[in-house]
């Protein structure tokens, strides 16, 4: 297939996952607040989706395309990238309340910091499209789309909804209009389509690195879950009964229940 058309297709898939982040702002069109109990549960759902997508999608596919050593090197590289990126931007945390007052330079800085969080998810989408246009897969607009790509796009899109909610909550406290909540939520995931295109191009021109790519995306996403999503949920649930652990576990179970069956279709 036309290489440019393939890049556009992957970019659109990444853009879909970014737009899905905006869905996290939609509850504020109907209610004025979202309880911490629901927030903790949603972070659990996002974590369950990320881990199940990484293990049953990326890790399994990595082992099918390479050796455990290649996958392991990729996993380690993904973890290292997140650790190094956090070290580089340490002390430069983004407060969504500053979005509205930010000038262009500040927005560029904010987008750079957000890249640390959302770029690995874009990489996961891009790598999953490695076999785009080849035999097999799911027909979309006449193109054979790998089932793994469909799975990962759905998984990342669902996972992005709680992230959009987390972005929207502090902005809502500033009385930011609802449609602007949607925009800023989407803005937080704009690095995803860029990461998707870069990863897709890389594994298409250097297919021998495909198992490393699967491992890289899985390692980065699981590490983000363990070091950010779950701690965030536990912090939100500190004042809830049993520290919100019941809500977190229920969310995790729901995330796995949604995504694991899809992984084996």
Among the listed residues 124, 117, 47, the one whose alpha carbon sits nearest the alpha carbon of residue 85: 117
Instruction: Collapse the DSSP code of 139 into the 3-class scheme (helix H, G, I; strand E, B; otherwise coil) and give the result.
Output: strand
pLDDT at 144: 85
The range of the structural domain enclosing residue 74 comes to 3-263
Helix axis angle, 210-224 to 104-128, nearest 10° = 130
Instruction: Determine contact, residues 138/151, Cβ cutoff 8 Å.
Output: no
Is the predicted pLDDT of residue 205 greater than 90, yes or no? no
pLDDT at 105: 58
Q: What is the Cα–Cα distance from 57 to 88, expressed in whole angstroms?
A: 30
- Average pLDDT rounded to a whole number, residues 60-81: 93
What's the number of domains the chain is made of? Answer: 1
Residue 200's alpha-carbon distances to 63, 155, 203, 221, 234, in angstroms, are 18, 18, 5, 17, 35
- pLDDT per residue as tens digits for the range 8-36: 999 999 999 999 999 999 999 988 888 88
H or E element at residue 155: helix 147-172
Name every residue whose Cβ is closer than 8 Å to that of residue 263 and which is 6 or more positions away in sequence: 52, 53, 56, 57, 60, 151
pLDDT at 249: 96
What secondary structure letter does DSSP report for 25? G
- pLDDT per residue as tens digits for the range 136-167: 677 777 778 998 999 999 999 998 998 888 88
- Average pLDDT rounded to a whole number, residues 181-191: 88
Instruction: Collapse the DSSP code of 140 into the 3-class scheme (helix H, G, I; strand E, B; otherwise coil) and give the result.
Output: strand
Whole-structure pTM value: 0.84
Instruction: Determine contact, residues 218/148, Cβ cutoff 8 Å.
Output: no
Among the listed residues 247, 265, 264, 261, the one whose alpha carbon sits nearest the alpha carbon of residue 45: 247
- The CA-based dihedral angle spanning residues 7, 10, 12, 18, taken in that order and rounded to the nearest 10 degrees: -130
């Amino acid at each position: 297939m036309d290489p440019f058309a393939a890049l556009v297709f992957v970019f659109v898939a990444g853009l879909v996952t970014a737009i899905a982040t905006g869905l996290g702002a939609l509850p504020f069109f109907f209610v004025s607040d979202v309880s911490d109990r629901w927030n903790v549960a949603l972070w659990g759902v996002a974590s369950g989706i990320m881990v199940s997508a990484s293990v049953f999608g990326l890790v399994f596919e990595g082992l099918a395309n390479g050796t455990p050593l290649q996958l392991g090197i990729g996993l380690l590289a993904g973890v290292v990238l997140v650790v190094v990126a956090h070290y580089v931007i340490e002390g430069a945390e983004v407060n969504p309340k500053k979005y509205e007052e930010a000038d262009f330079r500040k927005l560029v800085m904010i987008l750079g910091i957000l890249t640390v969080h959302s770029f690995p998810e874009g990489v996961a989408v891009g790598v999953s499209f490695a076999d785009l246009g080849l035999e097999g897969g799911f027909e979309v607009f006449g193109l054979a789309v790998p089932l793994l790509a469909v799975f990962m796009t759905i998984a990342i899109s669902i996972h992005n909804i709680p992230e959009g909610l987390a972005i929207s909550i502090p902005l809502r406290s500033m009385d930011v209009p609802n449609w602007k909540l949607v925009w800023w939520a989407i803005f937080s995931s704009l690095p995803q389509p860029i990461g998707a295109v870069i990863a897709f191009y890389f594994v298409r021109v250097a297919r021998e690195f495909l198992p490393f790519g699967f491992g890289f995306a899985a390692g980065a996403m699981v590490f983000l879950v363990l070091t950010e999503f779950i701690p965030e949920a536990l912090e939100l649930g500190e004042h809830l009964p049993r520290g919100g652990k019941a809500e977190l576990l229920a969310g995790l179970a729901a995330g796995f229940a949604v995504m694991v069956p899809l992984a084996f279709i």
